[in-house]
């Protein structure tokens, strides 16, 4: 269960950054600023948590069902954004559809905030000798500066809007599938386990990251080559 939730949180953070690539610099800074402010004001909440309490939440089917509701809202908003943006890339939208698209563009999602809270909690656990407020402000600064930089780098690697849009769409579908798995956990005939194979998980994440990076670099190279030929 913990692995599934961790992967969902990673996907939520990744799709948030992908969506930032469709913003200009002011939009990137504004949404990253909202995320950074949430981190800064959540230090006391994160400091009051414990690993035992978090593990109890993750093993609760009722909690997972409630979280699945917010995940469904996020995914519905992401999918609607993908369809409207894909349509606008082909032809101009009507005033009503364009207003809906802009609203969805500025909608950061509901689960990005639990994701940031989980990141903050893990940061506080990882640096026990560091003052909580200092650690929170450092993480808030990293979010404020890091999110726009990563979004800019991703847009540089994938300058085509349609490819990034497809990446956002596929990431949302993967989060939906994992959300179903997290919801039914403990309600099937299969025996659950709380042990985490961290080595295998890190290996899978590393392979996925290397594959994504290689694909992005190759796509960038081929795109530049085609542009030079034209």
HEC letters along the chain = CHHHHHHHHHHHHHHHHHHHCCCCHHHHHHHHHHHHHHHHHCHHHHHCCCHHHHHHHHCCHHHHHHHHHHHHHHHHHHHHHHHHHHHHHHCCCCHHHHHHHHHHHCCCCCCHHHHHHHHHHHHHHHCCCCCHHHHHHHHHHHHHHHHHHHHHHHHHHCCCHHHHHHHHHHHHHHHHHHHHHHHCCCCCCCCCCCCCCHHHHHHHHHHHHHHHHHHHHHHHHHHHHHHHHC
Name the band, by pLDDT with cuts 50, 70 and 90, for residue 60.
low
| Alpha-carbon distances of 134 from 33, 131, 138, 211, rounded to whole Å | 18, 5, 6, 35
Flag whether pLDDT at 186 surpasses 50.
no
How much is the pLDDT for 71? 83
How much is the pLDDT for 106? 93
How much is the pLDDT for 86? 86
Name the band, by pLDDT with cuts 50, 70 and 90, for residue 152.
very high
- Rounded to an integer, what distance in angstroms lies between the CA atom of residue 35 and that of residue 32? 5
Name the band, by pLDDT with cuts 50, 70 and 90, for residue 20.
very high
Instruction: Tell me what the mean pLDDT of segment 4-29 comes to.
Output: 88
CB count within 10 Å of CB 215 equals: 13
Encode pLDDT of 109-118 as tens digits: 888 988 898 8
Are 182 and 1 within 8 A, CB to CB?
Answer: yes
Name the band, by pLDDT with cuts 50, 70 and 90, for residue 122.
confident
Are 85 and 101 within 8 A, CB to CB?
Answer: yes
Considering only 68-72, 101-105, 178-182, which range has the smallest mean pLDDT?
178-182
- Rounded to an integer, what distance in angstroms lies between the CA atom of residue 116 and that of residue 84? 27
Instruction: Tell me what the mean pLDDT of segment 206-217 comes to.
Output: 83
pTM of structure: 0.75
Encode pLDDT of 61-102 as tens digits: 666 676 777 888 888 899 899 888 888 888 888 888 889 989
């Amino acid at each position: 269960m913990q692995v599934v939730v961790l992967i969902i949180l990673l996907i939520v953070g990744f799709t948030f950054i992908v969506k930032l690539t469709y913003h200009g610099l002011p939009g990137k800074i504004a949404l990253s600023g909202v995320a950074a402010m949430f981190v800064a004001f959540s230090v006391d909440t994160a400091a009051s948590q414990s690993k035992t309490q978090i593990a109890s939440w993750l093993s609760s089917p009722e909690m997972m069902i409630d979280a699945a509701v917010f995940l469904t809202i996020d995914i519905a908003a992401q999918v609607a954004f993908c369809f409207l943006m894909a349509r606008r890339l082909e032809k101009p939208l009507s005033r009503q559809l364009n207003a809906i698209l802009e609203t969805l563009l500025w909608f950061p999602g509901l689960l990005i905030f639990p994701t940031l809270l989980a990141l903050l909690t893990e940061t506080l656990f990882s640096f026990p000798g560091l003052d909580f407020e200092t650690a929170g402000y450092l993480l808030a600064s990293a979010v404020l500066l890091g999110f726009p930089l990563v979004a800019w780098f991703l847009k540089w690697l994938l300058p085509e809007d349609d490819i990034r849009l497809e990446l956002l769409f596929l990431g949302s579908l993967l989060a939906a599938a994992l959300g179903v798995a997290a919801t039914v956990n403990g309600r099937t005939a299969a025996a659950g386990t709380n042990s985490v194979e961290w080595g295998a998980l890190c290996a899978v994440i590393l392979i996925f990251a290397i594959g994504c990076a290689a694909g992005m670099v190759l796509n960038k190279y081929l795109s530049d080559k085609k542009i030079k030929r034209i």
